């Protein structure tokens, strides 16, 4: 298997990146300052993330395309305004999740951002459901996430008028005489932007961001940032065996779609009416011990009631944090539980998510 590299690979090397293989790509896990420093820098200043391994799918068509996509996704795409984005899912008939994704309505079509590990399978599923075997991911584009409280100030200097974007909205902007698409979004819990730009121009963009005082951030800090913000990582916190209702993500399903057609709707309807057996929750260990994925969760009577799906040290909250699934009876905040770590039972408590208050910016911004 050939390991792929993004267009920023040489720039990552120049900045002393430590690489790991992720979803078939050679990706930076961290740089010389380390994960904790990168995490804190993103929370207090700004950070540049290379997420070019993710899939960028563009679909063009008239209202009939919207109708077809309406039968694939649980989001009400008819109500989406041009340049508006929504968090959504590609779902199985049994209510499980093939992938979570961001879908944006653009002029005469839609742009869909897919997870790197899922994008090839997603493409097959979407192609089959649309009965279109000509669909292809755009391999000529890179994707940059630019996050943090200073991101809007820095990006405005380089790409004017981006600071006017509203949260989960985007538009085309000019950079080096090229149209690039920027949305005000991200997966860190901070205000920020995601920038779709040509492979030939992405190095210019990142170098300008660095020259304005920002820094490169690896996948390690991206993971601790999203976990503090209570955001799911596909393949860990959600997968083909979990539904949006069980994952506490039912808010992402448009209410009026419950009585319409999309894969998994019957299962979702049943779960909304009858409840679920397990729920995704936040978990706070009473010590600095880190409970990693697959850690078993027990009640006070030593009955196994669930498993951890993500766990780490949260630099912004200076505590061990985790997410996982527990049986519904134990899903209320402040419920006492125990985590089995290296053969020992560690006291913990169920808590509300997120661990760190999100700093998304709603409405228009003046810089």
- Give the pLDDT band (50/70/90) at residue 188: very high
Superfamily of domain 4-53+139-228: Probable tRNA modification gtpase trme; domain 1 (3.30.1360.120)
pLDDT tens profile 76-130: 999 999 999 999 999 999 999 999 999 999 999 999 999 999 999 999 999 999 9
CA count, 13 A, side-chain hemisphere, 356: 26
Q: What pLDDT sits at residue 363?
A: 55
Nearest-Å Rg of the Cα atoms of the chain is 21
Average pLDDT of the residues of the chain: 97
Distances (CA, A) of 202 to 11, 112, 215: 10, 20, 15
186 touches 170 (CB < 8 A): no
- Give the pLDDT band (50/70/90) at residue 361: confident
With 50 as the cut, is the pLDDT of residue 366 above it? no
351 touches 337 (CB < 8 A): no
Q: What pLDDT sits at residue 365?
A: 41
Distances (CA, A) of 54 to 113, 116, 328, 333: 7, 4, 34, 34
pLDDT tens profile 127-164: 999 999 999 999 999 999 999 999 999 999 999 999 99
Distances (CA, A) of 19 to 31, 236, 266, 337: 9, 21, 43, 37
State the DSSP string of 10-71. Answer: HHHHHTTPEEEEETTEEEEEE-TT-HHHHHHHHHHS-EEEE-TTSEEEEEE-SHHHHHHHHT
Q: What pLDDT sits at residue 362?
A: 74
Mean local confidence (pLDDT), 189-202: 99
pLDDT tens profile 245-304: 999 999 999 999 999 999 999 999 999 999 999 999 999 999 999 999 999 999 999 999
What is the token pair recorded at 137? Answer: 């991911």
- Rounded Cα distance, 147 and 358, in Å: 12
152 touches 363 (CB < 8 A): no
CATH of 277-367 given 2.40.30.110, 2.40.110.10, 1.10.3370.10, 3.40.1390.10:
2.40.30.110
Domain ranges in the chain are 4-53+139-228, 277-367
* Count, residues in the chain: 367
Core vs surface per residue 120-135: b (16+ CB within 10 A) or e: eebbebbeeebeeeee
* Percent share of the chain, pLDDT over 90: 98
- Give the pLDDT band (50/70/90) at residue 317: very high
- Rounded Cα distance, 154 and 164, in Å: 13
What is the token pair recorded at 243? Answer: 């539904």
SS3 assignment, position 77? helix
């Amino acid at each position: 298997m050939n390991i792929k590299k993004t267009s920023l690979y040489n720039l990552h090397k120049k900045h002393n990146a430590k690489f790991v293989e992720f979803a078939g790509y050679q990706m930076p896990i961290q740089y010389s300052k380390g994960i904790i420093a990168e995490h804190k820098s993103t929370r207090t200043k700004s950070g540049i993330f290379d997420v070019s391994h993710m899939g960028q799918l563009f679909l063009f068509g008239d209202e009939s395309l919207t109708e077809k996509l309406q039968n694939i996704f649980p989001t009400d795409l008819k109500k989406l305004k041009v340049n508006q984005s929504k968090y959504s899912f590609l779902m199985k008939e049994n209510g499980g999740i093939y992938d979570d994704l961001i879908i944006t309505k653009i002029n005469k079509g839609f742009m869909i951002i897919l997870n790197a590990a899922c994008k090839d399978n997603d493409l097959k599923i979407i192609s089959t459901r649309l009965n279109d075997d000509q669909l292809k991911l755009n391999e000529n584009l890179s994707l940059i996430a630019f996050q943090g409280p200073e991101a809007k100030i820095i990006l405005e200097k380089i790409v004017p008028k981006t600071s006017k974007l509203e949260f989960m909205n985007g538009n085309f902007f000019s950079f080096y005489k090229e149209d690039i698409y920027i949305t005000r979004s991200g997966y860190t819990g901070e205000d920020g932007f995601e920038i779709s730009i040509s492979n030939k121009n992405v190095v210019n963009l990142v170098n300008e961001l660095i020259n304005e005082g920002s820094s490169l951030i690896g996948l390690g800090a991206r993971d601790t940032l999203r976990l503090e913000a209570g955001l799911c990582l596909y393949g860990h916190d959600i997968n083909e065996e979990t539904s949006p209702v069980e994952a506490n993500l039912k808010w992402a399903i448009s209410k009026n779609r419950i009585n319409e057609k999309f894969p998994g709707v019957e299962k979702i309807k049943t779960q909304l009416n009858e409840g679920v057996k397990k729920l995704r929750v936040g978990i706070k260990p009473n010590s600095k011990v880190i409970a990693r994925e697959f850690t078993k969760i027990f009640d006070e009577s030593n009955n196994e009631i669930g498993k951890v799906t993500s766990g780490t040290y949260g630099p912004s909250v200076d505590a061990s944090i985790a997410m996982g699934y527990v049986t519904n009876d134990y899903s209320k905040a402040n419920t006492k539980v125990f985590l089995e770590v290296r053969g020992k039972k560690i006291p913990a408590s169920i808590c509300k998510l997120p661990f760190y208050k999100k700093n998304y910016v709603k409405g228009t911004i003046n810089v």
